[in-house]
Amino acid sequence: MNRLFRLFLVLGSAVFGGLLVYALTGNLAWKWSESAATIWFVFCVFVSGYLAHRLLPPPDLSGLLTEEDIVVSFDDDEVSCVRPDGYAERVRWDDLERVEVITTNKGPWACDVYYVLHGTSSGCMIPQGATGDQKLVQRLLELPAFDENLFISAMGCTSNKTFNVWKRSP
């Protein structure tokens, strides 16, 4: 049914589009004005959209992973980031060496900001929008010598770039 319906939509759209072009070139006995052809085209688009909405099953979005599905938490000892499959990344505060903000050009259709916590023996990569990320950001801003201006620049960046916003003093 799904394949047949798609075929019907493609063929129907081609027929209606062909009629529209044929009419606009003046080859039909009943010549259409541009406004009548535009109205016909809009009508065909709405009918196709309505039929697709009514007859096609809704997409299954249950398998999609969103940032909110990832949970970040912290306490006085460590930060943890737990993925939906149970995989957890952890870094201890006393092991934390540096903090980066990585931005990408994938937004708004995909996550485009990541907070990366580097420890000497472990680390966490946390997407912006993860459950609990705002509380973590507030805690990161409390780190001594955290570069708030660079962090603000990172939040406005829409290209592929890495911002080193904090590094442990020697």
Token digits of residue 32 = 């259409």
Domain boundary among 33, 55, 77: 55
Alpha carbons 158 and 105: distance in angstroms, whole number: 5
Cβ(162)–Cβ(104) below 8 Å: no
- Identify the band that residue 56 occupies on the pLDDT scale cut at 50, 70 and 90: low
Q: Is the Cβ–Cβ distance between 112 and 104 less than 8 Å?
A: yes
- Give the pairing of strands 161-167 and 96-103: antiparallel
Q: For residue 130, which amino acid is it?
A: A
Q: Are residues 38 and 82 in the same domain?
A: no
Same domain, 126 and 156: yes
In a domain, 61, yes or no: no
126: containing domain: 67-167
- In whole angstroms, what separates CA 68 from the centre of its chain? 12
pLDDT band at residue 62, thresholds of 50, 70 and 90?
low
Q: Across residues 90-95, what is the average pLDDT?
A: 96
Asked whether residue 96 falls in the same domain as residue 14, the answer is no
Q: Left, alpha or beta for 155 (phi > 0: left; psi -120 to 50: alpha)?
A: alpha
Top pLDDT among 19 and 144 is at 144
* Mean pLDDT for the chain overall: 83
pLDDT-based confidence at 143, cuts 50/70/90? Answer: very high
User: Is residue 62 one of the residues assigned to a domain?
Assistant: no
* In a shared domain, residues 41 and 80: no
82 with 155, same domain?
A: yes
Same domain, 77 and 155: yes
How many distinct structural domains can be found in the chain?
2
Q: Is 107 strand, coil or helix?
A: coil
The answer to whether residues 37 and 81 belong to one domain is no
Please report, to the nearest 10 degrees, the dihedral formed by the alpha carbons of residues 146, 82, 114, 118 taken in order: 50
Decide: 38 and 23 in contact? Cβ < 8 Å.
no
Assigned token pair, 71: 């949970």
Mean pLDDT of 61-85: 87
Looking at the structure, tell me whether residues 76 and 145 fall in a common domain. yes
